[in-house]
Structure 1
């Protein structure tokens, strides 16, 4: 079973070529270095430039801004190959699939021309900073403030769990431009971090999985940023901007989870065919066969759901509740399938030298980031309650 199956209606020859390029890059240039990156807790900076050279950054951004001129389909293919190769030490999703599209949707022409071409080439690395020590999914309660002082915002506060934060040159920061308001007080401000007074990165955070992913804390102490770095035409639009982009972001998470789920099944099938128990291949035991049949069925359902959501997004029809369904169900099911697959590996499944062990810890965060799964269910329930 592979993700390039001809049964996927949205695939075409151009996307197949992109898939081949992405697969070679992640398998040959990235996967062999995962262990080293895990030890240092971040990738080597030049890998961003290398990804840019190969056209793997900002593939869904128009060519006039230096991008690949593709669509979400191109980003989905890259995401699938990155997760299939178990290369999670840098987030192209955040850089290309999230921050670049905030700029494309809400940025001024000057902002787009200034930042998007550099992001495409990998000259600058992008991150988004929403979560705070005291505010996770509930973004209306963030405490980081941006108070206008002439032609600048003075920003004070802290952010945590920031993906790509170690290398980030450009960060989209959720702030309160009106500290007394809730949703209407939230704005998004772009900050260029190089030599920026008042900007400080905290330590690399020690996580149970995704050890090579540079996840850090950020601190802003009277940090001055030009008012022209506001994203959007006016203050107070940040919460609406975040909500508008969330279906796309959550679908990317579902795409990656589905790819990981299939990789877990494929690896386990190969293992049980070779592993002998009681003088016969482990695959010959009915329990093994039934468990794998269940896992492959779930992986196939996940892939089918993802494909349907991708088609909806391409038509402009993917709504918030459906994206929430895809995010929570596929991330949850991925964890369950990986657990079953690890069990079939026996003691070897508990050894980090086997990919299934890394999948087990790496996948767990999928139920948390992008909005905790409990919040996804609340979004779905509210939509159901509103139906007449």
Structure 2
């Protein structure tokens, strides 16, 4: 599948990643996935290709690509192995947060190392029992105020002079063991009304009081870890407050999740594309009753539906990416893309199993992996039920489409 949405330089980047996936990823993905092995060699090659810095502008990074280009790179990685795309998803969100909202000192400290992949980052939002209710956080960063602090509540400029003491827990945090920087959504003012005005983002590095407690077992999405985090009187310096102003974390993270949901939509599109490609190839190679099985109407109908839905999903993904680059609010478009692309990935993956028949249930074929990976995009980065609520509210607010 090709597009005319990119300039030649960006198309060359996508082509390079496509070659990397075909040459280095697809031949080993099945074994790595079934062994649940962290893809160290592939991650190092992704660093060399500059994939971790695609969202970081100069002078901190070498090249900042458009969001459509970023989405297509993500799609290519997911086409090879969805876990690789997951390895750079949260990393990109944190890089975007620092680029858009960080202080000059935070940008200089983190962005150059994030761009090369020398420093890996992830975000910590979800809490045990909390799910998508991000305003109802229990992770609290207690400010260590100076003697001259007025303590009058509300938005605090400059944060806490003495830093923070962080307590709480997070769960389903991807790349938690290998990330050196975690953007933690927490409450710096638990009494704030409305609650979102008391929420901030802290850029937390590992140290005393910060524990990665365990890796969570998963249906799919193997190789890359998803963990529980615990903060027990974890001391965080004042300059870790994103942007240097308390109370802005919720709106900052909501904007960050727009690119996060576009990334998940791109992952889903990549999985759907891999499933479609395998099914199309198999339907031409496999024969029954003396003809290739695609000539049987039932199989041909599956292929027709798969190709149509995949094409529609890809166009919705690119629409959301262009909207994001326009600078306009894009939560509805990102939500639509995430919703449709993830549901399409699930449908296409199941159809690929059907086309393969009994072989689709065998671990010797990749389609069973696609079927196990696809559900993550339905429930991750805000469940699809949450996306429908976001879409409905924006449809009313905007007066329709």
Please indicate the TM-score interval, normalised by the length of the shorter structure: over 0.9
| CA-to-aligned-CA distance 1:80-139 (integer Å, 9 cap, x gap) | 110111241463442442110011011111111111111122211111000010211110
Residue matched to 1:235 = 246
Query: 1-side partners of 2:105 and 2:290: how far apart?
Result: 69
Query: 2-side partners of 1:315 and 1:58: how far apart?
Result: 21
Q: 1:29–1:9: structure 2 CA closer, same or farther, 3 Å change rule? A: closer
Gaps of 5+ in 1: none
Gaps of 5+ in 2: 146-161
* More divergent stretch after superposition (141-150 vs 28-37): 28-37
Residue matched to 1:331 = 342
Query: 2-side partners of 1:275 and 1:238: how far apart?
Result: 54
SS of the residue 1:10 aligns to: coil
Query: 2-side partners of 1:323 and 1:266: how far apart?
Result: 25
Contact in 2 for aligned 1:59/1:96 (Cα 8 Å):
no
Match of 1:131 among 119, 126, 132: 126
Q: 1:216–1:90: structure 2 CA closer, same or farther, 3 Å change rule? A: farther
Match of 1:348 among 350, 355, 359: 359
Match of 1:254 among 258, 265, 277: 265
C-alpha deviation, 1:51, in angstroms = 1.8
Q: 1:39–1:357: structure 2 CA closer, same or farther, 3 Å change rule? A: closer
| CA-to-aligned-CA distance 1:330-370 (integer Å, 9 cap, x gap) | 11121112111211111110112211110001011111111
Contact in 2 for aligned 1:38/1:213 (Cα 8 Å):
no
Indicate whether 1:188 and 2:201 are aligned.
yes
| CA-to-aligned-CA distance 1:244-270 (integer Å, 9 cap, x gap) | 222222112112212221221111010
Indicate whether 1:29 and 2:40 are aligned.
no
Query: 1-side partners of 2:385 and 2:243: how far apart?
Result: 30
Contact in 1 for aligned 2:319/2:333 (Cα 8 Å):
no
Residue matched to 2:256 = 245
Match of 1:308 among 316, 319, 331: 319
Residue matched to 2:99 = 104
Query: 2-side partners of 1:262 and 1:46: how far apart?
Result: 24
C-alpha deviation, 1:27, in angstroms = 3.2
Indicate whether 1:57 and 2:70 are aligned.
no
Match of 2:190 among 170, 174, 179: 179
Matches within 5 A, 1:355-374: 355-374=366-385
TM-score w.r.t. structure 2 length? Answer: 0.90
Match of 2:68 among 67, 73, 82: 73
Contact in 2 for aligned 1:169/1:192 (Cα 8 Å):
yes
Q: 1:286–1:33: structure 2 CA closer, same or farther, 3 Å change rule? A: closer
Indicate whether 1:113 and 2:115 are aligned.
no
* More divergent stretch after superposition (121-130 vs 67-76): 67-76
Contact in 2 for aligned 1:172/1:191 (Cα 8 Å):
yes
Q: 1:74–1:297: structure 2 CA closer, same or farther, 3 Å change rule? A: closer
Match of 1:43 among 38, 42, 47: 38
Query: 2-side partners of 1:19 and 1:237: how far apart?
Result: 35
* More divergent stretch after superposition (351-360 vs 81-90): 81-90
Indicate whether 1:224 and 2:242 are aligned.
no
Query: 1-side partners of 2:292 and 2:40: how far apart?
Result: 44
- Deviant stretches of 4+, over 6 Å: none
Contact in 2 for aligned 1:90/1:212 (Cα 8 Å):
no
TM-score w.r.t. structure 1 length? Answer: 0.92
Contact in 1 for aligned 2:43/2:84 (Cα 8 Å):
no
Contact in 2 for aligned 1:95/1:125 (Cα 8 Å):
no
Contact in 2 for aligned 1:343/1:349 (Cα 8 Å):
yes
C-alpha deviation, 1:26, in angstroms = 2.9
Contact in 2 for aligned 1:127/1:164 (Cα 8 Å):
yes
SS of the residue 1:353 aligns to: coil
Q: 1:365–1:31: structure 2 CA closer, same or farther, 3 Å change rule? A: same
